[in-house]
Amino acid sequence: MPLWSIVAILALTCAQCSSVEGATLKIGMMPYTFEPIIRYDPTKPPPNLEPPIDGLYKRFWEAVIQDVYGYDSVQFVPVMEYMTLQDTIGFLTPHLRSGAIDVAWSPDASGPQRPEFDDMVYVPGLARTNFAVLGRKEIKQNNLMQFVTPLSGEVWGMLAASVVMGGFVIFALMFAEKHNVGRKEAAWSMYESFAALLGAESIESKYIAIVMSSPLGRLFRIALLFLVLIVTATYTANLAAFLTAPTTVLHGPQTVDELRNARVCIRSQPIANLIIPHIGFNVENGMSVVDNADPVKTAEWTERALMSGECDAIADMEDMARMRLLAECDKFHMPDGIRVGEYSAYHIMRGGAGERGLVENVTAAILRHLPSTERIDYYKDITGKGRTCPKTDYGTQTVTLVSLGGVFIVFFSISFVVLVAALAKGFMDKKDNNNSKAIATLQDSAMKVAGDVRMRTAFEEIARLVEAVKNIPDFAA
């Protein structure tokens, strides 16, 4: 081969190398802050035409470009159509074909199914993510009635009913023993029942004398003491926690099953179709297409709707949901049991024959970068992955009627039996007593009549004797 040919080939090769060495890869990017993907100077309103200051994609491409042969820098090119986030393949393709950008981020994966974009190809994205939800967190501060919170309203209602039932039983026991009862005894019975429920019964009290005087009374006392034991132990075990710490109430769905029946506000409407199959009802925001692409406006709307009760939860990509959670731990909570769907944001590039080398080069660089510790570190730094809100004292779970239902069933069952038996005994004794009185009255009447008869006979006998004496001649003279 002639020497000049070798020189020409080397010169051409060097010219080609010099045409790509140090080249800049142009990345199409949205011209507004979209956490955690991209972040611009917060003092400047969108559209932002200057380079971003931070974000996952800024750090991602600055790291990947170091491994892309022939390129050593990236340029983020603002694409105004990102302001709508509608048909991203459709509006990105002209920019790619014209060479204005080399690669772009696309949440729309419809390209391969649309023949008009057969000259476009996908390359791996930054990461796959699931969807999570944010619920409302309510912090209830201590108040003057904090002492009643260990037990639910239903339990307090049943305790009041127990006092009334106990009063009826004590009254019935008095009726069974004394027979003569009135309003004074009824009021006293209620007082003794309330005092006994508080555990304030005294061995010298009139109540003890009544309930211990019969088997029915002793059976009732066992049931009452059982109720007092369980309720007192349950109440005192939870009282300190409720008096010393604020109660945090978590609203909204806690499981995937609950999510399927919930009203949900989806922050990013362009990806709503990926979330809707997992929720009960999608709450529409009524915003324009442009406003729906504004993360600030959609975040404000979802928070307002959640706090007002218009929706039960906010659905978002897990990373974005976590960032909102960490920023406002006093407002939101993110249930660990809800992770649904899967979302992958791809990169789209020109796929023509002359572009395959760059596509393969970029793809290989991305695949080498994804498992790196560098990516894991900045991912955690920006999204807060691995961090949680400060530990919140959710207080002690309020004791409900379901928890103590068995105790009340035992008490009311025994009390009812004692009440019926005592009333039956009282009425039977009263009937027997009335019969005895009737018999005694008849006896007294009979004796009185008998006495009257004897007295009349005696008077008649005396009268007859007087008449006989008068007929004696000497006596008459």
Q: Is residue 358 part of a domain?
A: yes
HSE-CB of 340 using CA atoms within 13 angstroms:
22
In a domain, 302, yes or no: yes
Looking at residue 94, which CATH number applies to its domain?
3.40.190.10
With CA atoms as reference, report the closest residue to 48 among 60, 58, 63.
58
Residue 300 maps to a domain: yes
Q: Is residue 477 part of a domain?
A: no
How far is Cα 356 from Cα 377, in angstroms, rounded to an integer?
31
Whether 236 and 311 map to the same domain: the answer is no
What's the average model confidence in pLDDT over 405-411?
81
Tell whether 51 and 33 lie within a shared domain.
Answer: yes
For the chain, give the percent of residues with pLDDT over 70: 77
Q: How many domains does the chain have?
A: 3
* Structural domain range at position 282: 134-139+249-343
Q: What does the pLDDT look like over 377-404, one tens digit per residue?
A: 998 888 888 888 877 655 556 677 776 7
Mean model confidence pLDDT for the chain: 80
Sheet holding 103-106, edge to edge: 71-78, 23-29, 103-106, 346-350, 120-123
Q: Are residues 267 and 376 in the same domain?
A: no
CB–CB of 16/8 below 8 Å? no
d(CA 367, CA 360): 10
Confidence of residue 367 (pLDDT cuts 50, 70, 90): very high
Same domain, 64 and 121: yes
Does residue 427 sit within a domain?
Answer: no
Confidence of residue 99 (pLDDT cuts 50, 70, 90): very high
CATH number at residue 334: 3.40.190
With respect to residue 118, please indicate whether it lies within any of the assigned structural domains: yes
- Shared domain for 281 and 168, answered yes or no, is no
Contact (Cβ atoms closer than 8 angstroms) between residue 196 and residue 210: no
Ramachandran angles phi, psi of 392, nearest 5°: -105, 135
* Residue 54: pLDDT over 80: yes
* Same domain, yes or no: 202 and 284: no
Mark whether 189 and 91 lie in a shared domain: no
Measure the CA–CA gap between 134 and 253, rounded to whole angstroms: 9
**203 and 120 share one domain:** no
Q: Which tens digits make up the pLDDT trace of 176-219?
A: 876 567 888 888 888 888 888 887 666 666 777 777 778 888 88
| Tens digit of each residue's pLDDT (9 = 90 or more) over 227-259 | 888 888 888 887 777 766 666 788 999 999 999
Give 268-311 pLDDT, tens digit per residue: 776 788 889 999 999 988 888 778 777 788 889 999 999 999 99
Asked if the model's pLDDT at residue 76 lies above 60, the reply is yes
Q: Are residues 21 and 103 in the same domain?
A: yes
253 & 241 share domain: no
Residue-level pLDDT at 410: 81
In a domain, 454, yes or no: no
Specify whether 185 is located in the same domain as 107. no
What gap in Å lies between CA 474 and CA 468, rounded to an integer? 12
Give the whole-angstrom CA distance, residue 312 versus residue 134.
9
Q: Is residue 390 part of a domain?
A: no
pLDDT band of residue 73 (cuts 50, 70, 90) is very high
Shared-domain flag, residues 84 and 9: yes
